[in-house]
Structures are given as C-alpha cells and as structure tokens.
Structure 1
Amino acid sequence: MNDTTLSSEIAGPYAKALMSVADDNNAADQVGGEVANLLEVLASSDELIGFLANPLMAPDSKKEVLRQIAEGNVSGFLLNFLMLLVDRGRIAFLQPVLQQYQALLRERNQTVLADVTSAVELSDDQQNAIRDRVKTMTGANSVELSIQIDPALIGGLIIKVGSQVIDASLRGQLRRIGMQLAATA
C-alpha cells in the first residue's frame, strides 16, 4: 500500500468526523475558512510539517506548537480536534485530513476546484471570467480557484477541473503545432 492510499484511508474518516463536529456546531463553512488558513500555514513551513510528523518529538511539544498557531485563530472544537490528532498519533496526517475536509465541504456546497496555471498574475476580472467559464462547463454553484504562476507557459493559461484540462497556453499551442508538423513530415 503506497503512502497516498494510506494517507487517504486515514484522512477520510477524520475529515468526516471533523465535518460532523462542525455540523453539530452549525459552523461547517466557518471551519472551512479556518482549515484553509491552517493549510496556508502548513504550506509555508516545511519545518512545521516535519516537526509534526517527527515521531521522536513529544506529543506535548506538538500540542504546544499547535496551540500557539491555532489559538485565537480557530474555533475551540477545531483546536480540540487538532489535540485529538496528536493524542491518536495521527497529526502527521494533518494536511491530508484538512484537504479532505475541504473536498467534503466543496462537494456539499456544490463547489468545484479549478487549478489554474497562468504565465502572469491574473486580474480580478480575469479570475471572474475563469469562474464563469468553469461554472458553465461543470454546472457547479460556485468555483474555487487555486492559482499558480508559471512563466514557462510563455503566455495564456491551463485550467484543470477534475480530469478535464483546458490548455490555452502558448507553450501548449506551440507543442500542438510541432506535433502537427511532425505528423505531416
């Protein structure tokens, strides 16, 4: 069993449990925002991820660091959930659990995630146009954008929604022209 499968098997039930607790407190969307903030903190610190995943670090140390990061920034029951993950030895799976929670929330709210890779920074109008296009394409109520900048695209952008890919990049167009030329030669 590979790490991804193991991670999803562990993350799924914990994410569902967090969703259940959030529902009991009528705060599923609020927790979604708090989870997004925690994921940003984790994404910006490889040292934090390594610290939490290190089995040699004392659970009390991990709890103290999590309290410093989360206290005042998350609801009490989410903080308790983080402490539970430490107690159960599952804090190394924090990122997958939080990502799975976001996926559950998106599914519930009929929101799709569109991964956008652009050659340049996108304006608000451009982002809204992408959201409208993806809504039309998928029939979703709303669209959440995850935007990365990749100058290697030369120009344009690539949009991924689930298994669908729209490659409107200059690099992609050049590659397609090259393949057509090679096929005719």
Structure 2
Amino acid sequence: MKGNTMIAQVVEPYAGALMTLAQETNKVEAFAENCRALLSLFQESAEFRSFVMNPLVKAEDKKGVLQGVCGQDVDTYFLNFLFLLVDRRRIVFLEGICQEFVALQRKLNNIVLADVTSAQPLTTDQEAAIADQVKQMTGANAVELNISTDADLIGGVVIKVGSKVFDASLRGQLRRISMDLLGSN
C-alpha cells in the first residue's frame, strides 16, 4: 500500500501538470490520444516497457526511442513533456501518468469507462446498445467500453462502471438462484 501512495505522489502531479498544459494549449484530446497510444504500446510490447523502465539505458537513447515511437506528428509540447520525464528520471512512471491523464480527460468530458465482460464476442450493435444503456444509467456524455470475453459466464454480460457491477450473465443468475434455494432451507 505504501508503494502505491508513493507512486500516486509522483503520477498525479505530473498527470495534472500535463492536463494543465493540454488545457492551456487546447490540446486535451490530442494529448489523450497520445497517452492512449503509449498505453497500447506498453500493453503490446514488453521490449518497450523494459527499455523505458531500465535505469541503465542512457537518457538520450530513451529520448530517441520515444521520439521514434511518437513519430513526427506528435505535438512538440507532449514530446517535451516526455523528455522532461526522462531528464527527471520519472519516465518509469510514464504508464501511470498516461493512465491518470486519460482518467482526468474522461472526467473533464464526462465520459464513463465501462468494463464489459461477455460470454461471446459482442456485435457492433450489441456494443452500441450497451453503451447507450450505460449512458442512460450514468448520465454521462459518452461511454468508453473496455470489452473482454469469459466463456465461464455461459451467456449474457457483466458490466462494471466504477464500483457498480451489473451482472446479467447466466452464471450470475444461476448463482442467485442457488443462493435463494440454499437460503430457503
């Protein structure tokens, strides 16, 4: 727990500073897309993650890789922010900073993140219906779906928004029936 507090003490101020910069330059959405791209890269490439996290890699090498990964279209302010993280030896917190920035962007735009787990892959129409339902339930302007599949659900979906869980899965229904039957004895 202490480690998480220490990480938060680094991540939150840097993410907040990046948000302030993004708002002052009217580039919140662009910075959010840059952060999402970096988060995706962290997920997809163990090599990138270990390179960024490695304290033995020279700062100039890290800057070169970051510039190459971000490409020429990346905003100069965003790239300079990444370079600042390298110079201050805070680049190891990049993933957390990006996650926090995206969370701040969602909050700013009243966007809700919904984790959706289904027994089978969802169709585009089903995803849209779930997004509409979550939007109605939460009053959000928009909904981002984080979709995964779990065959153990048997059928249906489980939707998690913040701390609320909506279990419309067959497994959940069977569990509730079982609890009712056991409770009535």
Q: Shorter chain as normaliser: what TM range?
A: over 0.9
Q: Distance in 2 between matches of 1:53 and 1:96?
A: 12
Q: Distance in 1 between matches of 2:184 and 2:51?
A: 55
1:72 and 2:48 aligned: no
1:117 and 2:117 aligned: yes
Counterpart of 1:84?
84
Deviation at 1:181, TM superposition (A): 2.6
Deviation at 1:135, TM superposition (A): 1.3
Q: Distance in 1 between matches of 2:150 and 2:73?
A: 32
- Cα RMSD over matched residues? 1.5
Q: C-alpha offsets along residues 70-115 of structure 1, whole Å, 9 cap, x if unaligned?
A: 1225212111111111111111111110011111111111111111
Counterpart of 1:4?
4
Residues 141-150 or 3-12, more deviating: 3-12
How much identity, in percent, do the aligned residues show? 49
Q: Distance in 2 between matches of 1:167 and 1:161?
A: 11
Assess if the C-alpha contact under 8 Å between 1:113 and 1:161 holds in 2: yes
Number of equivalenced pairs: 185
Counterpart of 1:56?
56
Deviation at 1:58, TM superposition (A): 1.8
Assess if the C-alpha contact under 8 Å between 1:71 and 1:79 holds in 2: no
Deviation at 1:184, TM superposition (A): 2.9
Letter aligned with residue 150 of structure 1: D
Counterpart of 1:178?
178
Letter aligned with residue 153 of structure 1: L
- Normalised by the length of structure 2, the TM-score is 0.93
